[in-house]
Structure 1
């Protein structure tokens, strides 16, 4: 049977002796880490386009059908990100799912019959995976329909007959938390099962000048790998395997036509992340990304047995880490193993899927590979490089199946905007790219085979992609030095009409992650603040991506105290340059940036006159107790273990120093945020008020950790700008 016609689900079921979910004989009687998803039919969306269409809107996350004639994408013209589809050329885009639930990812099936997408009911963290036919019929929830569950999108099989989904299941006790921050119950007790190590014993050291804090073990559903010696020889520990307990992640193959039962590919107890990124054309292997932040790894799985045949560290960032070649003898990976910046790696596999050789195929000096996309035929790869926050796009030829050479010719198009956020390659050549820039909201461009960009007809023009009234501000890059000598980067936005020789009120804005990076893309929030006469400095403090792996690791352990000092050092730098007024400084940020905002207000109480903390952690103990199990597991790798590192986490928590708070603070939170629960803002605001410090909380309805609805985003921007304008007094003195 030709490779392109092989049905992976048939292959797995047949080779597993007819069982739909049997990774290994030793595990066939054990319950899976999460129940198999049950598809649920939904009403077809047949209404006209939403009645309220925003002129200033964005389009992003393109995915083309096999012919490249139509594109599915996300668009917020209705005020909420929804699934749309349109022709590659010309107008005529239309909504495929008119529900008010925000859409976050899109993937058109290789056979063209289905479009898969992820949505977030209520805007929260419990997402679900749906499919719909290109004409808007046949809509159904493939995974995540069960109460309390969550599902994430994986890849399609190469023939389009099945979709990989990751299912997260709450603890067996229902909504009750178990253990320290949902972590495995053996965190401070005996090992969990056969072969399990003592608590923390399975943790390996990170690269860079980092000290990794303690953690529990990760137990997987597949049986121990006979190829483990090869993994050990590659310099990585072989994970222990034990029985699956509550709070796990599981990857299934689901047939949207319902002809086959879901097939379990892989499961892991206490998992931090899990995504199936690709399957080989012959159905024998799957490429999986798993692991906590800073310790992600790529696994090659034998789909029949569930065994790991190869594993390698891969970079954080975009979860779509790589693809198999057409003959499944090569895996192309985006990885920063043994290096500062992610590059394109070539991994040669033998017939059993074990790694024969790993080599660097394409790399750049002091630039990381952000995005990697390879068409099914595997004749070329599309690479997006992060160059100090901006993107350089590149197309490189790949060797054919019977070749063993390096990459071929390289082509670099000139892009109309600074940052590429998504690449959708076309089998016939060319691609669709989602572009964002400092002077427009995201849009979608088609690049033909000569890589000449042309904006899609239904994607907003540059002049229509920003609110009318005042032009966006193009930021300037700034570098400054922290008190310990580490060089920090960032972008400075000057309010229009401001006298360049007069210091201005300035807001230090801190991004989330902390592994995110400040990039030169249009920010409606910055646009609002600048319109109020407030400058904005958006730095990358230690822990941010884009500046090398050692920089990302520099905030681990007690290095987080230095990250808090970085905020003060950035403020001091813009004051020293004469840009910012030292008595009119504000600080704000979202997620980890919200934590840093609260930390900066209590560690440097006399520096800032006001703060806005958005979805931030105020106490690590309550954060770990309230967040999702897989988020807790991943956060442990970054911040520390809630039991083993209790004293450090207490010392790092803003609540431990709230008596030092002097500046008025506004806290903003989404009501359905289960990443950082709203109680983190509530307790900080309550403590501030008890001490006589002005404090307020804004809770946004039908939002989670991200604010995705236009009316709520507008309310948030205006409330934050009102608060900072009131306390920083941007009116220049006479």
Structure 2
């Protein structure tokens, strides 16, 4: 039942509902108000991103690193006076202003690690409290608001049970479903199984797979008296996994358990229908995401469809909940806008493609509450093409019509915050500017906000940013790869230069033409940069993303060498002065390239990379292990494949000096992955060092640490790629 209170207990913690698991249900915890704090020292060169507007569109909350760390800021849409709402040194990653304008919700990471928490604060900086993730060892992620703004959906990952940390193969349960097996128990051809008619790049036959992960264990918590919904089973709730709750930011009602799933890789409530009957949930591991429409009262799944990777906000219900607008790549290579007609019970009455582009994926979908129009951001070879479209109302099958196609001042849109009255705020980034927020009017004509850094403040005077050129190259098996080449300004025309191959993370990320302070640093040292999209990257269709699964990862490692050979063949790069570096999955590829192609590269910088899949699975977060098993292989069923793919298995081949960089609080890829690679390299007489960044996790978010990292990496590469004396 729902409990009402007039005064929360001292400290702001609401007592848990006895019908729910007291160890898991989030309890709001009050924090000190930020009103009246001293204004931070403001950096001239800063970025602003992730805007969220109040209901009037007159004020905007956003993330800004102008104080040296990404924090929550707010200010008038058409003024320049902004203020910080949370001055704590904990990086903020997501922001959402409530539909009633009373609260701003956001996600922060204490200590810069991977364990995040969800907080709310009033627009004037008062009433700050943690809604979920306050329990040590737990983690929480932001979901959607109810349409009236009275409650916020959050996803909670409880602390691991006592004694279970780093237990077994990546915390996967012994009976976790692995890849399908062939006769005799040997792993079957799971890596080529997927939905849809797309042609696989390894020549395998595409076919519809068995379900690659278990059905969700959907639970429902207690509801107000008379709702008819039974109480949650506390024994099931205590069993771990991920759970989604509705939390009252005012603390007048106990948290309500919506749904939970044991062994979940991800779970996010993306939208709730206006009447609260249905929830749109995104779940599943990377590459196997699924959109579910769930009946909030019974927990029953009424509709399910494959959902696209990338931005987690995959869709919205229409105002009458009879249409679901969904960003999906089900049965297709590139994500499109799908229209799902729903009946009274939330089941599908028909599915159609509302908007699509040949060879281009829908990256972002943003729909205001009224549902009369939507903003669509299309990925065009890494850049963004933005359009607004009108959406049909009611239960008719009317088509959508494009309204505006603006010319953007910068290449990439990373977030769209729609306004009920029309127009939006958009976060833009480009190769020659830091991230900023622009206001788009109803015709989508852009104008920078007064608190966005000017383009001329992107870097100190005298060395402007470099605009990259697109390159296409062919892998040894004929697959066409691509990327962006940055030529150092001082290079002599036509003369081969020292070059660094930089590899992005993911592996499903994509290299995009946005300003990189790291590239700027390397270019300033006279080093060219080639940033390719090897197989497994996004932006080129699902078959390209799936091309590195399982044993296909050996080909991805060869792609790194083929990209280096291509820029050498063009006369851009000096074959005797090649370096390689990358972060996260790119850090893994860096280590792999150094031991699989030991005579190609003269130096490497591996950042937060996996050096051994067995130790990675044993040490990473449970939900990360679930997703990673789909991408790399199951730690039990594919033990031999993972051993063969691990750079540590070939460490005796390492020849090039290597610098490893890691955040001390990284629980995505534990720092021990770098430590063991460096120790093994030194034991074999190869120069190797490790730089550990304090108060950082898997992402480096503090200005001083980012500067230290850039300079250390550039020093290392410049030293080892310089001409021989």
Give the TM-score, by structure 2 length: 0.91
Pairing of 1:632-643 with structure 2 (within 5 A): 632-643=625-636
- Which residue does 1:474 correspond to in 2? 467
- Which residue does 1:218 correspond to in 2? 214
Pairing of 1:51-62 with structure 2 (within 5 A): 51-62=40-51
- Which residue does 2:8 correspond to in 1? none
- Distance apart, 1:187 and its partner CA: 3.8
- Distance apart, 1:222 and its partner CA: 2.1
Asked whether the 8 Å contact 1:200–1:217 carries over to 2, the reply is: no
Asked whether the 8 Å contact 1:57–1:466 carries over to 2, the reply is: no
- Distance apart, 1:176 and its partner CA: 2.1
Change (3 A) 1:131 1:199: farther
- Which residue does 1:443 correspond to in 2? 436
Asked whether the 8 Å contact 1:276–1:289 carries over to 2, the reply is: yes
- Which residue does 1:458 correspond to in 2? 451
- Distance apart, 1:247 and its partner CA: 4.0
**Distance between the aligned counterparts of 2:85 and 2:104, measured in 1?**
10
**Distance between the aligned counterparts of 1:200 and 1:647, measured in 2?**
11
| Among candidates 60, 63, 88, match of residue 52 of structure 2 | 63
Residues 204-241 of structure 1 deviation map (CA, whole Å, 9 limit, x = unaligned): 932452789999853633279xxxxxxxxxxxxxxxxx
Which shows bigger deviation, 258-267 or 203-212? 203-212
- Which residue does 1:80 correspond to in 2? 69
Pairing of 1:60-139 with structure 2 (within 5 A): 60-139=49-128
Change (3 A) 1:138 1:223: closer
Pairing of 1:479-628 with structure 2 (within 5 A): 479-628=472-621
- Distance apart, 1:47 and its partner CA: 3.6
| 2:327 counterpart of 1:334 | yes
Give the TM-score, by structure 1 length: 0.90
| Among candidates 291, 297, 300, match of residue 307 of structure 1 | 300
- Distance apart, 1:402 and its partner CA: 4.1
Asked whether the 8 Å contact 1:214–1:640 carries over to 2, the reply is: no
**Distance between the aligned counterparts of 1:144 and 1:174, measured in 2?**
20
- Which residue does 1:672 correspond to in 2? 665
- Which residue does 1:378 correspond to in 2? 371
| 2:372 counterpart of 1:367 | no
- Distance apart, 1:356 and its partner CA: 1.1
**Distance between the aligned counterparts of 1:526 and 1:499, measured in 2?**
19
- Which residue does 2:29 correspond to in 1? 40
**Distance between the aligned counterparts of 2:436 and 2:300, measured in 1?**
41
Asked whether the 8 Å contact 1:200–1:215 carries over to 2, the reply is: no
Asked whether the 8 Å contact 1:218–1:269 carries over to 2, the reply is: no
Asked whether the 8 Å contact 1:666–1:720 carries over to 2, the reply is: yes
Pairing of 1:174-185 with structure 2 (within 5 A): 174=163, 176-185=165-174
- Which residue does 1:195 correspond to in 2? none
- Distance apart, 1:188 and its partner CA: 9.0
- Which residue does 1:194 correspond to in 2? none
SS at match of 2:319: coil
Q: Which runs of 5+ in 1 are unaligned?
A: 1-7, 11-19, 23-27, 190-197, 225-241
**What RMSD over aligned residues (CA atoms) do the two structures have, in Å?**
2.5
SS at match of 1:422: strand
- Which residue does 1:4 correspond to in 2? none
**Distance between the aligned counterparts of 2:244 and 2:518, measured in 1?**
37
SS at match of 2:170: helix
- Distance apart, 1:468 and its partner CA: 3.5
Q: State the aligned residue count.
A: 685
Q: Which runs of 5+ in 2 are unaligned?
A: 5-14, 179-184, 221-234
Pairing of 1:422-437 with structure 2 (within 5 A): 422-437=415-430
| Among candidates 122, 137, 158, match of residue 169 of structure 1 | 158
**Distance between the aligned counterparts of 1:155 and 1:450, measured in 2?**
27
SS at match of 1:301: strand
**Distance between the aligned counterparts of 1:469 and 1:597, measured in 2?**
32
**Distance between the aligned counterparts of 1:216 and 1:573, measured in 2?**
37
Residues 131-190 of structure 1 deviation map (CA, whole Å, 9 limit, x = unaligned): 00000000000000001000000000000000000000133235523432100132499x
**Distance between the aligned counterparts of 1:170 and 1:222, measured in 2?**
20
- Distance apart, 1:200 and its partner CA: 9.6
SS at match of 1:396: strand
**Distance between the aligned counterparts of 1:670 and 1:81, measured in 2?**
16
Which shows bigger deviation, 409-418 or 643-652? 409-418
**Distance between the aligned counterparts of 1:598 and 1:407, measured in 2?**
48
